[in-house]
Amino acid sequence: MRRIIAFMVFLCLFCSSVRPASGAMESATDAARRGADQILALLQDPAFHNPATKEAQRKKIENAMLGLFDFDEFSSRTVGPNWRNFTPDQKKRFQEVFTTLLRNTYIDTLDSYSGEKVEFTGEISGNNGTRSEVRMNFLGKDAVHPVAFRMLVKNGRWVVYDVLIEGISMIKNYRDQFRDLLAKGNPDELISRISAKAEEVKNQPKQK
């Protein structure tokens, strides 16, 4: 399951970074499909599996996705109503440490990618076509896992603001954790906890 989550998290980051070449608006499904095709191509590139070029290729994937993802939207929705209590500096620091936590948590699991595919199954639109839920199946070797991207239009492009893995919302999962921490502390304490967790994950033995 962790490998599935890792793949879908990085897929969602990459989908939100890709614009149509013409600049024209496209459907949420088209944006997600194009992102899926491009990240699969990066993972299947021999450079990703060559020890001599692996680190450079992983950095390329990481920068392409994390550098262009709209973490303002993602962070505010993850924290929820408490976001209004954060100062601009706290919001900036939260985004930085949360990005680091996600990167450290999921980047190494991409090494276990072994040819899994994505099958798009439908799209539900709302809010006058500015929000959409794109549904798909993650086709593993032994099982099919339903996945959905919740997307919205921002600055003329589709961005992913939540990922559902077998019905479990990534944002809700983090929001529940952060709400409990904020009920007992303050934004600075939450930021410190996330930073410490990111460092802990970074220092864990890498998965084989």
Domains in the chain: ranges and CATH? 2-202 (3.10.450.710)
Which of the residue ranges 8-17, 110-119, 141-150 would you say has the lowest mean pLDDT?
Answer: 8-17
Tell me what pLDDT residue 68 has. 47
Q: Which pTM does this prediction carry?
A: 0.80
Pick the more confident residue, 185 or 22: 185
pLDDT number for residue 67: 44
Query: Residue range 45-59: average pLDDT?
Result: 84
Q: C-alpha angle with apex 179: 175 to 180, nearest 5 degrees?
A: 125
Contact 105, 200 (CB under 8 A): no
Average pLDDT, integer, range 68-78? 78
SS3 content of the chain, % helix, strand, coil (to 5): 55, 20, 25
- The angle formed by the CA atoms of residues 149, 164 and 199, to the nearest 5 degrees, is 105
Q: Are 85 and 187 in contact (CB under 8 A)?
A: yes
- pLDDT higher at 33 or 7: 33
Q: Across-strand partners of 169?
A: 164
Which are the contacts of 174, defined by CB distance < 8 A and separation ≥ 6?
78
Look at residue 30 in the predicted model and tell me its pLDDT.
Answer: 87
In this predicted structure, what is the pLDDT of residue 80? 93
Per residue in 120-146, pLDDT tens?
A: 999 999 888 889 999 999 887 788 889
